[in-house]
């Protein structure tokens, strides 16, 4: 069910405004201080005078924890995933990362054939408590550096999949992922890291979130109602949560109240939250940056269609990227990524015609 823990009573805790990068870095630092088994593995994550990984998330951690726990690797994603899996099976809690999520394909055997299956194949005797962080999303870097890969990993039993849209969720979900005894693929959208800093992305959004100074965790499988509404349910993840919220604001000015659900995690998925909302609004739109065919939205549409058919007044609509590689030209990329305008038009069509 949707989770209430994002409501932070001012009297009980103090907060700061952090970017996604700052929140993720704080999560890593806190977990490394709490548990000496937590190590970091990746390319350029601890280079002296470097960026702190491709997007500065690990900046300063090598100086605090040393290179025995912040381990730079060669350019080999297969090796990164394999070492992380072996370290996890041997009792550590590695947090590995790749510079771009697209490179996870190089490590698919380690992730899908080894990491995901070891606990099941050993009858629970071997656990693989590792996290694989992966930046995703189109950012004018072309077909091999801008894909959204969530659907590939939701299809692999044994893996959990997280996809935070804001700093508060980013920190809470990453801390939960590190403490989980199962492998977690942790997707981070590059445009949500921020528009400032040494490795800013063109078109980045400066998403600032109120993040408590006190310890907190966000459980997997608890979606968040980012905006309540009565007329249409809009389900989204990562950058598309922000596009959906923008659309909902425009729709409200036109007399249509859209309910925006941030799924937070795709595995496990909060089916109860989506079912309850769809039964109440009678209309459902799913928004994702992944390609339309075989995306995670297709699974949501199929399952909600099964259990909510009698409650829906209109066809379920999916808004996604075309079934083409990610284009490089900025004008084509803007056409490729689902837009706020498309979400608005789709919601208006559903409410007006059904």
- Number of C-beta neighbours around residue 117 at 10 A: 16
- Number of C-beta neighbours around residue 49 at 10 A: 4
* Active-site annotation holds for 311: no
Q: From CA 35, how far away is CA 107, in angstroms rounded?
A: 27
Residue 76 and residue 43 in contact, taking contact as beta carbons nearer than 8 Å = no
**What does the block give as tokens for 188?**
């981070």
**What does the block give as tokens for 67?**
């290179």
Catalytic residue chosen out of the listed positions 67, 145, 189, 311:
145
| 3 closest CA partner among 321, 272, 204, 290 | 272
Q: Which residues contact residue 346 at a Cβ distance below 8 angstroms, ignoring those fewer than 6 apart?
A: 285, 317, 319
| 319 closest CA partner among 339, 334, 303, 305 | 339
| Strands across the sheet containing 160-162 | 70-72, 38-42, 93-97, 131-136, 184-189, 160-162, 265-267
How far apart, in Å, are the Cα atoms of 242 and each of 71, 103, 205? 34, 26, 9
Q: From CA 147, how far away is CA 140, in angstroms rounded?
A: 11
Catalytic residues: 145
């Amino acid at each position: 069910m949707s989770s209430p823990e994002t409501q932070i009573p001012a009297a009980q805790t103090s907060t700061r405004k952090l970017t996604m990068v700052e929140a993720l870095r704080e999560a890593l630092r806190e977990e490394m201080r709490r548990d000496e088994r937590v190590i970091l593995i990746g390319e350029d994550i601890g280079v002296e005078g470097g960026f702190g990984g491709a997007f500065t998330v690990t900046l300063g951690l090598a100086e605090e924890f040393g290179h025995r726990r912040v381990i730079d690797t060669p350019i080999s994603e297969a090796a990164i995933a394999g070492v992380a899996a072996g370290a996890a099976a041997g009792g550590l809690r590695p947090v590995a990362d790749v510079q771009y999520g697209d490179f996870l394909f190089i490590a698919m055997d380690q992730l899908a054939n080894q990491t995901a299956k070891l606990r099941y194949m050993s009858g629970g005797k071997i656990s693989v408590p590792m996290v694989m962080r992966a930046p995703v999303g189109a950012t004018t870097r072309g077909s091999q550096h801008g894909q959204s890969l969530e659907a590939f990993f939701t299809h692999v039993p044994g893996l959990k999949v997280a996809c935070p849209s804001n700093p508060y969720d980013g920190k809470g979900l990453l801390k939960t992922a590190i403490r989980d005894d199962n492998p977690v693929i942790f997707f981070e959208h590059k445009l949500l890291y921020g528009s400032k800093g040494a490795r800013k992305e063109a078109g980045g959004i400066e998403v600032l979130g109120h993040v408590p100074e006190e310890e907190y965790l966000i459980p997997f499988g608890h979606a968040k109602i980012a905006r309540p509404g009565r007329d249409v349910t809009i389900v989204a993840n990562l950058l598309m949560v922000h596009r959906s919220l923008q659309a909902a604001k425009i729709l409200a000015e036109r007399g249509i109240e859209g309910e925006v659900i941030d799924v937070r995690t795709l595995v496990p998925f909060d089916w109860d939250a989506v079912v309850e909302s769809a039964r109440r609004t009678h209309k459902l739109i799913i928004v994702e940056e992944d390609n339309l065919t075989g995306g995670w939205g297709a699974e949501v549409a199929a399952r909600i269609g099964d259990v909510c058919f009698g409650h829906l007044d209109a066809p379920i609509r999916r808004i996604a990227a075309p079934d083409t590689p990610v284009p490089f030209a900025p004008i084509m990329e803007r056409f490729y990524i689902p837009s706020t305008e498309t979400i608005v038009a789709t919601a208006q069509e559903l409410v007006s015609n059904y």
